[in-house]
A = this chain, B = another copy of it.
Amino acid sequence: MGGDRAPRAPIAGALRALAELGDDDIVQLVGRPEVIEDTIRDLLATELAGGEFSRERVVIIPASEAIDMAEKPSAVLRGKPDSSMRVGLQLQTSGESDAFVSAGNTGAQMALSTLVLRLHEGLKRPAIAAVFPSARRPIVVLDAGANVDCAPAELVQFARLGSVYAEDLLGRERPAVALLSIGEEAEKGNLAVKEAHQSLLSSGLNFVGNCEGRDLPRGEAAGHELDVVVCDGFTGNVLLKFFEGIAPFLIQLVSERAGRDPREMASQLKELDYAEYGGAPLLGVRGVSIISHGRSDARAMKNAILVAKRAVGSDMNAHIGRRLAAGESAA
């Protein structure tokens, strides 16, 4: 029931995902049954007409409430015990489900995922990872907004979480981790960054040092191809939203100057399209909770479900637990 295009886009994405999931995989659609039934019927009569999938692989889980996109997380935690988001997450604690995907209210998803799934030992909040395109390969940037004022130890945790993300979901081996700062030298940066730099040197991770803002689009820093870039949630959120704004601005500017249609150009730039990545796993919860962009269309939702499948398949959750525990005992 969540997202700007709900219920149609999530349901269409889920039905499309069935073809690409394993034959034993099912999708559970959580929300008001009559709305879901109507939407499925309509989709099968229109955009999905002729598509084949076994109806037994689609399970409807009733939830009487829905969380509004603008509702405050604190209000969501107190009220709405039967929201589609809470019910969907609870399916994991009762063993009925392996992963949860939503394009709904991100703050509510963070809060409810933390409450229902709980966090790994030593974490204060989950982290959000964003994937940035680069001239080399896509880079995992975290935290993208969940943790605003960060202690050095939290930045080190993000490095551990991001490394597992890069390994399990992007297939990188021994991911190269950089710390976002305002200069390459270890003594450059704000207080938290300077201290985190020292801790990362002995973290056991493949820490390649500081990187600067310009290294993100380049995809490399100090001769290393980057996989993970660590920053506090304030910087990460500002950067992610700036990127989301500057990309269409520049595409429009260049397209117009080149005498081309900006929309057509944008549609050709798959590497800049959030729908390609589909969704970002909330890192640090004991389970799988995939955050999709509020404006996700059916393709983005389908891709988010495939991200969930990869997270389950690689047992990313347990992998994160082991990695954090190893970090704790090394510290």
Taking Cβ atoms with an 8 Å cutoff, the residues of A that contact B are 134-135, 145, 148-149, 180-182, 189-191, 193, 212-218, 231-235, 237-251, 253-255, 257-258, 260, 265, 268-269, 271-272
Contacts and interface: CB of A to CB of B under 8 A. Distances in A.
A218 to B, nearest CB: 6
A217 B245 contact: yes
Contacts of A193: 234
Contact of A246 (B190, B216, B248): B216
A109 B32 CA distance: 64
A216 B190 contact: no
Contacts of A260: 258
10 contacts: A181-B238, A182-B241, A190-B234, A213-B242, A214-B244, A218-B249, A250-B251, A254-B265, A257-B269, A258-B260
Nearest to A214: B245
Contacts of A180: 238
Contacts of A250: 246-247, 250-251, 254, 272
A218 B248 CA distance: 10
Contacts of A249: 134-135, 217-218
Which of A214, A238, A244 has the most B CB atoms < 10 Å from its CB? A238
A12 B306 CA distance: 58
B245 A242 contact: no
Contact of A148 (B135, B190, B215, B233): B190
A160 B119 CA distance: 43
Nearest to A249: B217
Given A148-B190, A234-B189, A239 B254 contact: no
Contact of A242 (B191, B239, B254, B258): B239
Contacts of A271: 253
Given A148-B182, A213-B240, A246-B247, 9 more contacts: A149-B190, A182-B241, A212-B238, A213-B237, A213-B238, A213-B239, A213-B243, A217-B245, A251-B254
Contacts of A190: 148-149, 232, 234
Contact of A182 (B214, B234, B243, B253): B234
A216 B135 CA distance: 23
Given A234-B189, A242-B214, A258 B253 contact: no
A160 B240 CA distance: 27
A213 B234 CA distance: 10
A217 B231 CA distance: 22
A20 to B, nearest CB: 27
Given A190-B149, A217-B242, A233 B182 contact: yes
Given A182-B145, A190-B149, A241-B213, A257 B265 contact: yes
A255 B214 CA distance: 20
Contacts of A214: 241-242, 244-245
A271 B253 CA distance: 10
Contacts of A216: 242, 245-246
A94 to B, nearest CB: 34
A190 B148 CA distance: 6
